[in-house]
Structure 1
Amino acid sequence: MIKKIARKIFPNFYTKLGEVKRSIVARKLKKEHPNTKIFHDNHIKLYSQHNQDYIVYNNFFKNKKGVFCDVGGNHPLNINNTLYFEEIGWEGLAFEPLPSMKPLWEKHRKAKFFSFGVSDKEKEVAFSVVKDVTGWENMLSFVKSTGKQNLDLETQDIIIQVKPLKDIFEREGITHIDYMSIDIEGHELNALKGIDFNKVRINVLTIEVSTFANSIQEIEEIRQLMRENDYILWGIIVGLDDIYVHKNFLN
Structure 2
Amino acid sequence: MTEAGRNGARIPLSGLGLFLRSFLFFWTDPERNFRRCRRGQYLGLIRLMNEFGFVYDDEDRRFYFSQYGQDKFVAEHLFPGMRNGVFVDVGAYDGVTLSNSCFFEREMGWTGLCVEPIPDVFRELVSNRPGSVCENVCVSNVEGELEFARVEGVEALSGIADRMDRRHRRRIEGEGGRVEMMRLPSLRLQTLLDRHGIDRIHFLSIDTEGAELDVIQSLDFERTRVDVVCVENNSGERNVRRHLKRNGLAYLLTLGDLDDLYVRAGR
TM-score for the superposition, normalised by structure 2: 0.73
Q: Aligned partners of 1:74 and 1:119: how far apart in 2?
A: 16
Q: Name the SS of the counterpart of 1:235 in structure 2.
A: strand
Aligned to 2:3: none
5 Å-filtered alignment, 1:229-240, equals 229-240=247-258
Q: Distance in 1 between matches of 2:189 and 2:7?
A: 40
How many Å apart are 1:16 and its aligned residue?
Answer: 4.7
The answer for unaligned runs of 5 or more in structure 2 is 1-5, 11-39
Residue pairs, 1:8-47, within 5 angstroms: 16=7, 35-36=42-43, 37-38=46-47, 39-40=50-51, 43-44=55-56, 45=60, 46-47=64-65
Q: Percent identity?
A: 26
Instruction: Describe how 1:1-251 pairs up with structure 2 within 5 A.
Output: 16=7, 35-36=42-43, 37-38=46-47, 39-40=50-51, 43-44=55-56, 45=60, 46-65=64-83, 66-87=85-106, 88-109=108-129, 110-131=131-152, 135=153, 138-145=155-162, 146-148=164-166, 150-151=169-170, 152=173, 153-210=177-234, 214=235, 216=236, 219-249=237-267
Moved more, 229-238 or 82-91: 229-238
After superposition, the Cα gap between the structure-2 partners of 1:34 and 1:129, relative to the gap in structure 1 and judged at 3 Å, is: farther
Hey, what's the Cα distance between the residues in 2 that align with 1:173 and 1:139?
28
1:129 Cα deviation from its structure 2 partner? 2.0
Contact kept in structure 1, 2:93 and 2:122, CA below 8 Å: no
**Consecutive unaligned residues in structure 1, runs of 5 or more:** 1-14, 21-32
Distance across 2 between alignment mates of 1:139 and 1:220: 23
Give the aligned residue type for 1:190. D
Q: Mark the CA change 1:16 to 1:59 in structure 2 (over 3 Å): closer, same or farther.
A: closer
Instruction: Tell me whether 36-45 or 93-102 shows the greater mean CA deviation.
Output: 36-45
Deviation at 1:171, TM superposition (A): 2.5
Give the Å deviation of 1:42: 7.8
Cα distance, 1:139–1:165 mapped onto 2, change above 3 Å: closer
SS of alignment partner, residue 185 of structure 2: strand
3-state SS of paired residue (2:156): coil
Instruction: Give how far 1:191 is off.
Output: 0.4
- Letter in structure 2 aligned against 1:106: V
Summarize the Cα distance change of 1:150–1:171 in structure 2 as closer, same or farther, 3 Å threshold. closer
Aligned counterparts of 2:255 and 2:67: Cα–Cα separation in 1? 11
- TM-score normalised by the chain length of structure 1: 0.78
Cα RMSD, aligned residues only: 2.3
Match of 1:7 in 2: none
CA distance in 2 between counterparts of 1:35 and 1:231 reads 17
Once the two structures are superposed, residues 60-80 of structure 1 have per-residue CA deviations (whole angstroms, 9 ceiling, x without a partner) of: 212212011001001211111
